Structure 1
Amino acid sequence: MGRQASPSEIDVRVLPRPGDSSIHPVEIGAAPWQNRPPAGLSSEAMTFRRWRPWLVPTFILANIVLFAITMFVNDCPKRSPSCVISFLGRFSFQPLRENPLLGPSSNTLVKMGALDVSKVVHGNQGWRLITCIWLHAGVVHILANMLSLLFIGIRLEQEFGFVRIGFLYILSGLGGSVLSALFIQSSISVGASGALFGLLGGMLSELITNWTIYANKIAALLTLMFIIAINLAVGLLPHVDNFAHIGGFISGFLLGFVLLIRPQFGWITQQSQPPRYHHGSPKRKHKVYQYILWIAAAIVLIVVFTVGLILLFRGVNGNDHCSWCHYLSCVPSSRWSCNSSPTYCSASQSGNHLNLTCEGGSRRSQTYFLSNADNDRIQELCSQLCS
């Protein structure tokens, strides 16, 4: 099915700039609907319930705990003589030339559930499409993603509750993993930003489908589009998994039409009044265009997920059918290369001496005083040698 994934290269999923949640309706449900609404919202936004967020903080805690467990499993002093911040003991970080994000080795990430296409397709390990969402390549990586989740996720959960935001987060992360696996097959991938881009996509479709609750509609739309464009542009840098970002965004955008639909203000008003005060014909709960968007998005979502999963488990490499798509994840320049060819080493053992030669382009060689090295140890040394 395509090239063997190399554990020495990691494509991380980052969302370096939190979305500006001030464009989203958040001051809702606390004041009477007759009161003047906050700036940027129409009076309809005042009628919706405000939830107490707990799921997003739980997600943040889970990501931090899993990163700590990953570092414990990594145990850098046991595998490398030049760990970063070595006084942390087994929680110290891999050498910067191997992992500049201050984190574990790629082999440890694979053990913990990173997205490795060869293992998903040929090893029947489809669960990696979900577990990779909860792993991070380093302190810098997890800090950027968790700050983004804090700023974006808390406000969305306050507005729509934990059930809908939970589904939006998980399914968007899955969508990001599927698209990433179809196009990035020479390296592993970890990170939560596919799910985070899904939250941004959901914000955009929520703005469209609930258009009437915004007073400054065009300003809100342009602001959100600018934030999305900036974050997608960051994904054009090398070793950033922009396919996960794009897949998560598309999934979240479609899910937003399905999960984040709001009823009409007139319908809510009728529901809160005694029957004798009703005037005119009953109001519909949703507008016609909301029903159309809901149905269309649900159909497209099911088709996209079904086709994507079928192609993935059949071993299809998306790059074979789209010669320019790789530019969506990395644009080469004079300052960096987008080469992601697999890295591997040739090894020979002579007594207590292990001789390794990097075959991934650098052709560096080094001899290690090591007897009876297992495959995992050889892969660790190969990653360090070729990085």
Structure 2
Amino acid sequence: MGNRDIEKNRENYPNYHQGPPPQQQQQASSNYVIVSDKRWKSWLVPLIVIADIAIFIVGMVINNCPKNYFGVDSCFARFLGRVSFQPLRENPLLGPSSATLLKMGALQWERVVNQHQGWRLISCIWLHAGVVHLVANMVTLVLIGVRLEQQFGFVRIGILYLVSGFGGSVLSALFLQRNISVGASGALFGLLGAMLAELFTNWTIYANKAAALFSILLMVAINLAIGMLPHVDNFAHIGGFLTGFFLGFILLMRPRFGWLERHQLPDYARVKTKYLPYQMVFYFIALAVLVAGFVVGLVMLFKGKNGNDSCNWCHYLDCVPTSRWQCDT
């Protein structure tokens, strides 16, 4: 992300506390740079990491590979006993079986729609297919989530995380009806989408706008490209990203300069409205799109619709077949 301006430009206003010269007073009130930025202590993101690790360990205990697996291959790392992994041929990510994941709440279209288990749209966010999957997601969560929570607080980031994960689950269930899906990737992509929206809606406070935009778009592009590999649920990524993007315009707006400091600035530098007009335009457009998207998506899902019927090319967003792999295997 780009560096934020924390202080007023001292070169233009060397006697800031006494007020700038009269000819520059109007210019002062139109400078929307944040003077001070309250920082929260991050505790929610570490708590999510601990919870995900604990749930994974519980899943491995329930899996109990040595007792429940009778295949040709032996359980991997059998010396771990009850928490040893399924054979690598079945699960190369070092984790439990698909049956165990389903038992614990993995996302599956059949169970959500026909067995009325809508809670799986949320429970799947807390499950991971293996150690590799878990570590990759938790490292990403710490790198992105801690900073966002410090800037915006646990309430807004908690809402972003859960709603984005839910949005990713809805899109995944609509398009991947024959497979199961687990993981926090949709929620993590939601945080990336929110970062991009935050850049746009708080555009005036960024010192290096181009660098901030490039870094975020690069991260999103790389992760979406990885999602086109087989056995990766890219629809959860896309759904989470879009949900987080629109939520970012709603939850991550920063007040304009002069509002946060209205009790410290002289009269000529104070502003009466908390947000800029373009921020409010983004807010209402994002709110309308988000509500409409969830309504349409949930209605289609619980009516048993297949998203691929409405978009016959969308399956390429999830997997692109090559000479090395087929997407339907």
TM over 0.5: yes
How far apart are residue 23 of structure 1 and its match?
3.5
Q: Please report how far the alpha carbon of residue 193 of structure 1 lies from its aligned counterpart in structure 2 after TM superposition.
A: 0.6
Contact 1:172-1:198 at 8 Å conserved across structures:
yes
Partner of residue 239, structure 2: 247
1:196-252 CA deviation, whole Å, 9 max, x = no partner?
000000000000000011111011111111111011000010000000000000000
1:294 aligns with 2:283: yes
One-letter amino acid of the structure 2 residue matched with residue 202 of structure 1: A
Match of 1:125 in 2: 117
Deviates further, 217-226 or 243-252: 217-226
Q: Distance in 2 between matches of 1:250 and 1:145?
A: 18
Per the TM alignment, residue 265 of structure 1 is displaced from its structure 2 partner at its CA by 1.1
Asked whether the equivalents of residues 132 and 190 of structure 1 are also in contact (C-alpha less than 8 Å), the reply is yes
CA distance in 2, matches of 1:268, 1:333: 54
Identify the residue that residue 326 of structure 2 maps to in structure 1: 337
Q: 1:229 aligns with which of 208, 221, 233?
A: 221
Are the counterparts in 1 of residues 160 and 191 from structure 2 also a CA contact under 8 Å? yes
- Which of 176, 181, 186 is matched with 1:184 structurally? 176
What are the superposed Cα offsets for residues 101-148 of structure 1, whole Å, 9 maximum, x if unpaired?
000000000000000110000001000000000000000000000000
Question: Matched residues in 2 for 1:59 and 1:265: separation?
Answer: 34
Do the aligned residues in 2 keep the contact of 1:168 with 1:199 (CA within 8 Å)?
A: yes
Q: Could you say which residue in structure 2 is the equivalent of 1:147?
A: 139
Higher helix share: 2
Q: How far apart, CA to CA, are the structure 1 residues paired with 2:288 and 2:249?
A: 11
Structure 2 counterpart of 1:315? 304
Question: Do the aligned partners of 2:258 and 2:270 also contact (CA within 8 Å) in 1?
Answer: no
2:313 maps to 324
Q: Which aligned pairs between 1:98-113 and structure 2 lie closer than 5 A?
A: 98-113=90-105
**Counterpart residue type for residue 49 of structure 2:** I
For 2:8 and 2:85, how far apart are their aligned partners in 1?
54
What does the per-residue CA deviation read over 1:260-288, in whole Å, with 9 as the maximum and x for residues that have no partner?
A: 00000122232434xxx312774421100
Question: In structure 2, what is the equivalent of residue 266 of structure 1?
Answer: 258
Partner SS for 2:94: coil
- Does 2:186 align with 1:199? no
- In 2: Cα distance, 1:239 partner to 1:255 partner: 28
2:2–2:209 CA contact under 8 A, matched in 1: no
Root-mean-square deviation (Å) = 1.8
8 Å contact kept, 2:33–2:257:
yes
- Any stretches of 5+ residues in structure 1 without a counterpart? 1-21, 37-41, 341-387
User: Contact between 2:258 and 2:269, CA under 8 Å: does it hold in 1?
Assistant: no
Task: Write the letter of the residue equivalent to 1:195.
Answer: A
Q: Give % identity.
A: 60
Q: After TM superposition, list the pairs within 5 Å mapping 1:1-387 onto structure 2.
A: 22-23=1-2, 25=4, 44-80=33-69, 82-273=74-265, 277-279=266-268, 282-340=271-329
- Partner of residue 345, structure 1: none
Tell me, which stretches of 5 or more residues in structure 2 are unaligned? 12-30
What number of residue pairs does the alignment pair up? 307
| Cα distance in 2 for residues equivalent to 1:103 and 1:231 | 22
**How far is the alpha carbon of 1:168 from its aligned partner?**
0.3
Q: Return the structure number with greater strand share.
A: 1
Distance in 2, Cα, partners of 1:206 & 1:256: 6
SS at structure 1 position matched to 2:181 = strand
Matched position secondary structure for 2:192: helix
**Secondary structure of the equivalent of 1:267?**
coil
d(CA) in 1 for partners of 2:56 and 2:291?
A: 32
Deviation at 1:35, TM superposition (A): 7.5
User: Which residue identity lines up with residue 42 of structure 2 in the other structure?
Assistant: P
User: How many Å apart are 1:43 and its aligned residue?
Assistant: 8.9
